[in-house]
Structure 1
């Protein structure tokens, strides 16, 4: 069989060259379409369900949130297992699906089940799905270099301007903010005053909640002009919260300021983000969507950053602290240099030992054609170009070169023997 293939190839050299050129062109197209990343994605095919119930202990979270969710999500189709983790104020459920399951099909099945499970959870507790990214989806970290701007203003700039702009980039699943202070109104209740006025914490909370609302009215016409009546009750300052009446005692309203202290402050933090020992910073993490090309997404995010930076206050700029694009570029450059070096070494070795340029050319042509064909298979099996796959290709180049040298030397040897035999026959004649 092998002899027939070799014989057919020798008799149809033009067809073989055309097939090799077509495969090389297809391989070049596959190289451009193949997703490029530095780190191979070995994470499991999972969907994360995150539930927040602030102020509750881990045991209560486990009993009333994590346990009901885990038991109800275990019946989903095509899953391996369900894991649950409870901590202070938060619950995480990890639903691990089979590797051949489409991630968005899995998210739809989880959402369907959550729509029925939510009724068994405590009032006000709403589970939500995590981002459609993987464990290696953190492709870019950045901070805001904003001298003279306090941490609360920086966090507001990040959450209400930068985050919304970068989330529109194709391939980005989420922009996770970190650092700084998230501004909020904080009401510190005095228990002694509550006891004196015979009030409860629930009454204080209900008074604030009902007053922080906007109620609709109706439309009426007067002198051929239409008017819309509505009541705007959104709280906009500390003074407005302090003046909210909680209860009336002896015709005298008891206000929030009578039983509590109201102030503008930051949300309680469990840690800080310090950069290079120069102080706290505010920034974000770009999370890539599942199955996207990391190199392309990073380039698009950087272009968007340049547009976003035009709207910054004077002196504020981006500071990229982690960029996987540099590691991706080094990986690609490494395989390029390896290919060029091996082609040069092979040419020198073949020419020195065989002193035959056509043999060297036949071996050199094999390398790019085989390399391009390997990317066709990578795309067919859904494997991205990363450190592991590119290293495997680099190692395989050596095997290709060895095989080419052996076959060329063997063919050269047999041709030389046949040529010597032919010369001997000619002399005898």
Structure 2
């Protein structure tokens, strides 16, 4: 079969040359389209289901949230394994799929099953899917340099301005906020006053919740004019909460300020984010979407941050906490340099070894064509250009020229035998 293939190639040498040129051009475009990362993504093909039920112990979370979810998610096709973790107020379920399963098909199947499992969970407990990123998706971290702004205002700026802007960048799956305090209205109730006014804590909670809402009315027509009636009830400041009536005492309304005090504070924190030991900071973590070009995503995020920075308050700027593009570009440039050096060294050795420029050229020309084809295969299998893949290409250069040298020597040997046979036949 090999002999027939060689004969076919020799008879159609121009066609073979045209195919090689076409593959080389295709490979050049494949190099431009191939995702770039520092390290290969060896994480499992998984979908994360996160459920929050604050104030509950890990055992309650395990029994009433984690167990029902795991039991119902096991029926999804093409699942390899399911892992779960229960902690204080939170549940994590990791659904591991087979490696050849499309991640978005997997997320759709999990979401379908969650719609059914929702009825088995406690009231007001809603499971959500994690971002469509991988274990190496944390590509960029940033924080604010805002010496004149408190941590609560910084966190509000991050959650309600910066986060939404950066999530519009193509390839970004999520921007996770960290540090600071999440602002909240805090109602400090005096139990003695509750008992005096005969008001329960649950009544206070329900009244405050019911009074923080806008309500719709209907259209009212008068004198050829139409008026839309609606009730404005959203809380805007601490005073609005203090004036909410939670009951009555001898016909007199009992307001929130009568049974306690209201203040602006921060939500309970389980940790802090410290920068270089100089104090707390607020920022975000950019998570790249599955299969995206990490280097391109980081550069696009940086460009977006330049526009976002124009709208920040005076004296507030961005600082980079972690930037994988430095590692990516440094690693790729180093491998590229070594790859070029190896090609040059191999080409020189081939020329000196064969000492025949036509034979050496036929071998050396195989190197760029083979490398170009390897990038076509990388794109076909969804692999990125990283330290591992480029190093493998560099190591394979020696094998490429070995095959060419062996074929050239074998061709010269057969030609020599044929010439000697022809000379012996001549009288």
TM-score band by shorter chain is over 0.9
Q: Shift of the alpha carbon at 1:384?
A: 2.3
Cα RMSD after superposing both structures: 2.4
TM-fit CA distance, 1:354: 3.2
Q: Please give the alpha-carbon distance, in whole angstroms, between the structure 2 residues aligned to 1:78 and 1:20.
A: 40
Q: Is the 8 A contact 1:350 1:356 kept in 2?
A: no
Q: What CA deviation, in whole Å up to 9, does each residue of 1:266-315 have, x standing for no partner?
A: 11111111111222111111111122222222222222122212212233
2:52 is the counterpart of 1:39: no
State the Cα distance separating 1:357 from its structure 2 match.
2.5
Matching residue of 1:212: 212
Paired residue for 2:401?
A: 401
- 1:363–1:405: 8 Å Cα contact kept in structure 2? yes
Relative to structure 2, which stretch is displaced further, 31-40 or 270-279?
31-40
Change (3 A) 1:351 1:391: closer
Matched with 1:335 is: 335
Q: Distance in 2 between matches of 1:69 and 1:4?
A: 60
- The residue correspondences of 1:250-289 to structure 2 (distance < 5 A) are 250-289=250-289
Whether the 8 Å contact between 1:172 and 1:289 is mirrored in structure 2 is: yes
Pairing of 1:201-240 with structure 2 (within 5 A): 201-240=201-240
Counterpart Cα distance in 1 of 2:129 and 2:278: 36
Q: Which residue of structure 2 aligns with residue 28 of structure 1?
A: 28
Q: What CA distance in whole angstroms lies between the structure 2 residues aligned with 1:118 and 1:237?
A: 35
For each residue in 1:103-122, what CA deviation from the matched residue of structure 2 results, as whole angstroms up to 9, or x when unmatched?
A: 22222222222222222222
* Pair 1:129 & 2:143 matched: no
TM-score normalised by length of structure 1: 0.92
Distance 1:232 1:9 in 2: 82
SS of 2:219 mapped into structure 1: strand
Q: Deviations over 1:313-335 (max 9, x none)?
A: 23322222222222222333233
Q: Is the 8 A contact 1:331 1:390 kept in 2?
A: no
Deviation at 1:416, TM superposition (A): 6.7
Could you tell me whether the CA contact under 8 Å between 2:291 and 2:382 is conserved in 1? no
Name the residue aligned to 2:48. 48
Query: Is 1:311–2:315 an aligned residue pair?
Result: no
Distance 1:111 1:12 in 2: 55
Corresponding residue of 1:158: 158
What does 1:8-87 align with in structure 2 at a 5 Å threshold? Answer: 8-87=8-87
Task: Describe how 1:276-425 pairs up with structure 2 within 5 A.
Answer: 276-409=276-409, 411=411, 421=420
Gaps of 5+ in 2: none
SS at match of 2:232: strand
What is the CA–CA distance in structure 2 between the aligned matches of 1:15 and 1:377, rounded to whole Å? Answer: 22
Preserved CA contact (<8 Å) 1:178 1:284: yes
The alpha carbon displacement at 1:36 in A equals 2.1
Following the alignment from structure 1 to structure 2, what is the Cα–Cα distance between the partners of residues 333 and 418? 49
Distance 1:156 1:369, change over 3 A: same
Residue of structure 1 in register with 2:172 after alignment: 172
- Between the two proteins, the alignment pairs up a number of residues equal to 427
Q: TM-score, normalised by structure 2?
A: 0.92
Tell me the distance in 1 between the aligned counterparts of 2:260 and 2:409.
92
Distance in 1 separating the partners of 2:18 and 2:77: 49
Q: Does 1:92 align with 2:92?
A: yes
